[in-house]
Every structure is written in structure tokens, then in C-alpha cells.
Amino acid sequence: MIDYYNKQINRLSLEINSFKKKVNTLVFIRLIFFFLLVGSVYFIWEINSWLSLLIGGIGTFLFVRLVHYFLDVKLMLSKLETQRDINVYEINLLQGDFTQCKDGKEYLDVSHSFANDLDLFAIHGVFSMLNKTASPQGERQLASVLLGGASDTQFMNGAITFLSKHIDWTQRYRVTGKLQNREEGANYSMDQFDLSRMPISNWMAWYQWVMPCFSIFLFVAFILNLLSISMLAMLLVVGLFPVFRQMKISNVYFKKISLFEIRVDMLIERLKLVDELRGNDGFFDTLIKKVNPEGNSEKELLLLKKRIRQVNMRLNVLVGLILNIFFAWDIRLRMNIKKWGEVNELFLGKIEEELSMIEVYLSGATIRATFPETTFAQFTTETLVHMEDVLHPLLAIKGGKENRFELDDDQHFMILTGPNMAGKSTFLRSVGLAIVFANAGFPVFAKEIKLPKMKLYTSMRTADDINSSSSYFFAELSRLRIIVEAIETNEKVFVLLDEILKGTNSKDKQEGSFKFMKKLQKLGGLGIIATHDLSLCELDKETSFFNACFDSNIEAEELSFDYTLKEGVCKNMNASFLLKKMQLVD
């Protein structure tokens, strides 16, 4: 994929240079046009004032169109630069540079069944690698899917597979969110819009028509010299009194609504992008129907955008005063916005949710395109768990050793031994993340994976709690109790345990570990326990347990590892060797 990203960068750089030249040219043309317009109006005024006004009107119209075109070109330039940055970001990531990646620590709950132990949201962790979302809403949905699994893994597989063939499209989709993030109000979601709560009174329905008629009547009277300027002003103030009384409420709502313009623009642009894929794939057409069920989503959003622009016009004090005099603008706008909200507010939240969810799909699609050796999980109704060449996702970037892992009807628990640094914890996390990705419907870093639908529970990094006077040992027991309760509720549970009962003495630890593992076996759990206590390997004499290990090699005073999972119990421990090597003991 690095070649693809480099080609994208080269192509985009050429387009960026072209647009930069166009922007500079337009700046010059706009400046010259402005001075020509002002000069023409000024010099022709003395000759023919009507012609001067005509030239001024036409020139102003053309100048405004030129400004809009200039802004469109600048926006396109920003899009191209943002897409180029996305490709640079992806190359840096594949080269192991995570400095620009977000860690997602706000989604970490240490009480969650597995999140803390798998380094899912750690600095330079798995979330950083996987996250291709561009909006706060999309990022939250990605975290939710990883933590709780997908509601429909098959649909997720299909969406990811389809989008993995349209990476350029996914990048353009990401661009829309990244441009929005630069604006004020980026963190607002459409369920905070509250349009239907816009306060409306019965008198507003007739006032929106009476005030404009009243104002026109007053100005006609003034032109006919039936009213003085002071009387005109006084009567206009009287007529606007209802607007002034509602001014505070109107300002609160209008200022809030104005912040949503960038979000509405993003939704409109994303709808257009989604529509580009219509008819390309029967599966994605299903997704389009979810995003745009009635086929009029874009039309309704364009109407909302129009209302928001009317709000922005009103926020200019002078323009707002004129609009209120001739159109009762505040009242009319509040009624129109409330009417739109009552009809479309539920649809607005739904469409934002579905469009943000596409960011989750494209996160998986980017992984699938970048690592084509990944696969999707096959869910079975059997106890069988089979992972061929399973690998930790981060090691797919840095380079690592794949391993095979399997449980069947006769072997439910692996007792994993090995010396320090041999790869036990990494292997536990590799298996755990494979299950997390499978439940989320994401590509799994394995050649093949088959497993039943099951929930993952871990106890690998338990901590004490000074605030609640909770000791380390009690905290670990509480964690183990949660695991047992999950299995007792007839859930299919897979557990990952790393050196359980570390908070007690060796004899207690050995006896307690034996009894706890037998308890899990009796309840029908599945999983792996990693330990340095070789006495636990005696469990393989019991039904459902088997031994596996990682080992080390010590030759010529040098320590090495092959990180390959083997059958049986490890033969070499290296703690004493390392202590001596580092001159910590004699």
C-alpha cells in the first residue's frame, strides 16, 4: 500500500500546485475587477448616473459571483491538501510513526471486561492504528463497536470488503470530516439541535404577516409626506416591540443554530459521496437505503442549510433590523425552523448516525486494503476455536511471529508457560484482539479464524485502589468474581489470565489457582492462563487442560527467542541469567 499512497501523494501534489496558481490568479483578478468597478462607477456618474448605477449593479453581481468562485477554489484546495495529508499519515503509520495518532484514552474504562488489558486505547496502541474516523461521532462509534461488538457482523464484513476496493472514495469521505473539525461547533451532534423546542406563540402566526404590511404602509405614507421621519421611526419601534421582547430568546437559539452550518454542509456532501456508489454493489445499496430511506434527505438538508444561512444573515445587527422591519424576520424564521424540526428532527439524528457509521466501515476497509492477509472470522455453533497464523495487529507493522492457537471439545484451557520476554503476554493479547476484531466484524490479523460467538474477559493488569481502600489482592478477586458470574449466566465466555493471584504467597497462589481453574472448567469456560508457576502445568492431567509454552535459548552467554508457540512445558527460565547479565547479582 505504500506505493499506492506515494502515487496518491504525487497526483495530489500536482493538483495542489495547479489550484494554488489558480488561487493566486483569482486574487489578482478579484483585486483588479474591484478597482475597475469602483473607478467605472465613479467616472461614469458625472456623465450618466443611471448608467453608472446599472454598471454598479451588474458589476457587484459579477464580483459576488467571482468571490464565490474564489471560495470554491480555495475549498477544493483545502480538500486536496487534506487528502494528501491523509496519505502522508498512512505512510508514517506503516513506517511505525504514531506521533500524529490519537490514543482514544477517553474511551478507556478500567472496569471493562478487556479494554485495559489489551492496550486497546494505549498511547500508540491498537485504536491509534485502526482509527480512520474524521468526526467525533464516528470516533465514538468506532470505540463502541470495539468494546461491545457489532450488532450485525456479517453486514460489517460486507461493508468493509466493499469499501476496501474504493480507498480513494474513503479518503474523500474522511476529508469531509477533517475539514469540519477545523470549525467551531465540530463537537456538536445533531441530536443537540433541538429545533422542535423552538418556542412559538399563537400570536406569531398573524404577526409575521401584519408587521410587513404595517411597515410598507408606513413607508408609503412617509414617501407621500404624510409622516415625518421621527413619526416613522417611532411607529416602526412600536411595531417591532414584539420582536424586541423575544430578542433574547431568539439570539440564544440563533447563535446555537449558526454553529451547525458546517455539520449540515458535511452531511450534504457525504450524502452526495454515498450516492456516487449507488448501483455499484447490491450490498452497498442496502446501506444507501439506510442513509437515505425516502430519497429526499439531501433536499431536506438543503432546506435546513437555507434556514441556517437566513439565521446568519439575521445575526448581522443592521441586516437583522432591516429584515425584521420588512419581513418580521425573527418570528418568521423561528416558525419556519420549528416546522422543519417537527417533521425532520428524528431523521436528522438518524442520518448523522448512519453517515458517521460509514467512518467505522472505512476504518476497517483501510486495514483490509493495507493488510490483505487479514481475514474475517467464521462463527460456528461448536466449541471449536481455531486461529491460524494469528498475529498482534501492531506487529503486522513492525514485523512479528505468527502462531497457531486451537481449542476443541477435549481441550478448553491452555496453560501457557515461558520465561520473561519470550512472548506470553503478546500472544495473549494477539488472541484477545483477534476475538475483539471478530466480534466487531473487522478484519482479523490471522490466516484463518473460526470461533463461536463469545464474550471476552481478561485479568492481566489488575490494580489496587487507594481511594476505596481496595488491596491489589481484593481487586484481583473482584475481577475473577466478575468472570465467574459471566460464565454462570450461561454466556459463552473466553478468558485470558496472566499470573492470577499475584497478591498472595506462593502456596496460597498455587492452591487457589488450581481450584479456580477447575471451577472455570466445571462451568464450561474457555481460555488461556499464562503463568511462571510450573506446578500449574499438572492441570493437564485433568480433562480440558493442556500445556503450551514459549521458550528461550541461552548460548555463549547470549539470550535469544524464537517467539514460536510449542507444545508442552517450557524448559528454560531466564530471570537468574538476566540478573547476572545486568550485574545485579554475583
| CA distance linking residue 409 with residue 539, whole number of Å | 17
**Residue 375 per-residue DSSP state:** B
Average pLDDT over every residue of 14-27: 92
Which of 40-44, 181-185, 446-450, 453-457 is least confident?
181-185
Average pLDDT over every residue of 321-343: 85
Instruction: Give the model's pLDDT for residue 188.
Output: 64
Q: Is 164's pLDDT higher than 80?
A: yes
DSSP string, 439-470: HHTPPBSSSEEEEES-EEEEESS---BTTTTB
Same domain, 493 and 389: yes
Angle between helices 297-314 and 317-327 (to 10 degrees): 110
Same domain, 339 and 420: no
- Cα dist from 384 to 14, 22, 374, 442, whole Å: 53, 62, 20, 20
Q: Which of 95, 130, 165 is the last residue of a domain?
A: 95
DSSP string, 310-361: HHHHHTSHHHHHHHHHHH-HHHHHHHHHHHHHHHHHHHHHHHHHHHHHHHHH
- Cα dist from 50 to 35, 43, 45, 57, 142, whole Å: 20, 13, 8, 10, 62
Which residue reads 550485574 in cell numbers?
A: 583
Q: Which of 95, 116, 131 is the last residue of a domain?
A: 95
Instruction: Give the model's pLDDT for residue 379.
Output: 92
Distance of CA 287 to the CA centre of its chain: 18
Same domain, 345 and 388: no
| CA distance linking residue 320 with residue 467, whole number of Å | 56
Give a yes or no: residue 506 inside a domain: yes
Q: How many C-beta atoms lie closer than 10 Å to residue 345's C-beta? A: 18
Residue 560, SS3 per DSSP: strand
Dihedral angle sign, alpha carbons of residues 142, 147, 152, 158: positive
- Residue 480, CB half-sphere, CA atoms under 13 Å: how many? 20
Q: Domain range spanning residue 84? A: 1-95
Same domain, 306 and 445: no
Task: Tell me the three cell numbers of residue 468.
Answer: 476505596
Which residues have a Cβ under 8 Å from the Cβ of 102 and sit 6 or more positions away?
Answer: 127, 128, 131, 139
Give a yes or no: residue 136 inside a domain: no
Same domain, 454 and 548: yes
Which of 83-92, 123-132, 230-239, 559-568 is least confident?
559-568
| CA distance linking residue 79 with residue 71, whole number of Å | 12
Give a yes or no: residue 135 inside a domain: no
Same domain, 210 and 344: yes
Task: Tell me the three cell numbers of residue 476.
Answer: 484481583
Same domain, 518 and 574: yes
Give a yes or no: residue 121 inside a domain: no
Same domain, 506 and 547: yes
Q: Is 579's pLDDT higher than 50?
A: no
Same domain, 436 and 361: no
- State percent of the chain over pLDDT 70: 88
Nearest to 159 by CA among 443, 390, 448, 391: 443
Residue 568, SS3 per DSSP: coil
Which residue reads 479464524 in cell numbers?
A: 449
DSSP string, 499-531: STTTTS-HHHHHHHHHHHHHHHHHHT-EEEEE-
Which of 362-371, 497-506, 557-566 is least confident?
497-506
Tell me the one-letter amino acid at 256.
Answer: K
Which of 369-383, 524-538, 563-577 is least confident?
563-577
Distance of CA 91 to the CA centre of its chain: 20
Which of 177-181, 443-447, 461-465, 499-503 is least confident?
461-465
Q: Which of 77, 95, 113 is the last residue of a domain?
A: 95
- The burial of 250, by beta-carbon neighbours within 10 Å (0-12 exposed, 13-18 middle, 19 or more buried), is given as buried
Distance of CA 21 to the CA centre of its chain: 34
Q: Is 143's pLDDT higher than 50?
A: yes
Give a yes or no: residue 508 inside a domain: yes
Convert 55-119 into a string of H (helix), E (strand) and C (coil).
Answer: HHHHHHHHHHHHHHHHHHHHHHHHHHHHHHHHHHHHHHHHCCCCCCCCCCHHHCCCCCCCCCCCC
Average pLDDT over every residue of 360-387: 91
Same domain, 365 and 506: no
Instruction: Give the model's pLDDT for residue 584.
Output: 46
Q: Is 17's pLDDT higher than 90?
A: yes
**pLDDT per residue as tens digits for the range 171-217:** 999 988 887 765 655 566 666 666 667 778 888 889 889 998 998 89
Residue 129, SS3 per DSSP: helix
Which residues have a Cβ under 8 Å from the Cβ of 123 and sit 6 or more positions away?
Answer: 98, 103, 105
Which of 55-59, 276-280, 575-579 is least confident?
575-579
> Buried (b) or exposed (e) across 95-116, using 16+ Cβ within 10 A?
eeebeebebbeebbeeebbbbb
Same domain, 422 and 478: yes
The three-point CA angle 492-495-496 to 5° equals 160
Phi, psi of 542 (to 5 degrees): -85, 155
Residue 187, SS3 per DSSP: coil
Q: Put residue 328 in one of left, alpha, beta given phi > 0 → left and psi -120 to 50 → alpha.
A: left
CB-CB contact of 214 with 242 (8 Å): no
Nearest to 259 by CA among 316, 186, 313: 186
CATH classification of the domain holding 543: 3.40.50.300
User: What does pLDDT average to over the chain?
Assistant: 83
Give a yes or no: residue 141 inside a domain: no
Question: Domain count of the chain?
Answer: 3
Higher pLDDT, 54 or 13: 13
C-alpha distance across the termini of the chain, in Å: 51
Which of 10-24, 45-59, 275-289 is least confident?
275-289
Higher pLDDT, 574 or 516: 516
Q: Is 560's pLDDT higher than 80?
A: no
Q: How many C-beta atoms lie closer than 10 Å to residue 325's C-beta? A: 20
**pLDDT per residue as tens digits for the range 25-74:** 998 988 898 888 888 888 887 787 778 878 888 888 888 788 888 888 88
Instruction: Give the model's pLDDT for residue 464.
Output: 43
Same domain, 400 and 358: no
- The burial of 280, by beta-carbon neighbours within 10 Å (0-12 exposed, 13-18 middle, 19 or more buried), is given as middle
CB-CB contact of 569 with 537 (8 Å): yes
Which residue reads 471478530 in cell numbers?
A: 438
Instruction: Give the model's pLDDT for residue 466.
Output: 39
Residue 141, SS3 per DSSP: helix
